[in-house]
Amino acid sequence: MTILQIILLIFLLVCAVSVSITRDLLNAILIYMSFSLIMSIIWVTLESPDLAITEAAVGAGVTSVLFFVTLKKIHAINIEKGTRELKDADINTEEEDGLDEQA
């Protein structure tokens, strides 16, 4: 095991732990993305570049983008106001949506 691999594995551990500790969902996704990138480099060092390509495209690319879109759907990211907290305005609109569905 080379030094590079050890460093990468330590990064991997740090990422894995910090994903579960982070309270902010957006940060958790970003850390998860970096986890996938590190994993893809580890795949290269383990001599399986085909897995590295897939990991980089699916893990770091598509899955994270889907997570972002889902967060936007559930109002966890508020891009317009630059804050990620659920503000009173959002609560109100959600309430209206719910009422409309009931009606």
Partner 1 sequence: MSRRKTDEEYSKTRAYRFFKWLKGEKDYTPSETKMDMSLLIPIADASTTVERMQDKQIAKERAYDEHSNRLLKFFNRMYRIVAVMFCIIFGALLIYNVSYLPKVGAVDRPTNNEVPARYIEKGIEETGAVNIVTGMILDYRAFDTFGESNVLFVATITVLILLRINKDRSRLSPVLSEDDPGAGDSIYEPKDDLILQTVAKFLVPIIMVFGIYVILNGHLSPGGGFSGGAVIGAGLILYVNAFGFEKTEEFFTEKTYKWISFGALTTYCLCKAYSFFCGANHLDSHIPLGTPGAILSSGLILILNICVGMVVACTMYTFYVMFRKGDF
Residues that bind partner 1 in the complex, under the rule CB under 8 A: 46, 48-50, 53-54, 57-58, 61-62, 65-66, 69-70, 72-73, 75, 78, 80, 88, 90-97, 99-100, 102-103
Nearer to partner 1, 31 or 77 (CB): 77
Nearer to partner 1, 7 or 57 (CB): 57
Which long-range CB contacts under 8 A does 57-61 form with residues at least 24 apart? Answer: 59/33, 59/35, 60/33, 60/34, 60/36
As a whole number of angstroms, the distance between CA 98 and CA 39 comes to 41
Nearer to partner 1, 28 or 51 (CB): 51
Alpha helices (H) along 22-87 = 25-45, 49-54, 64-73
Please, what is the minimum distance in Å from the beta carbon of residue 60 to partner 1?
9
Please, what is the minimum distance in Å from the beta carbon of residue 58 to partner 1?
5
Query: Which tokens hold the place of 75?
Result: 């109002």
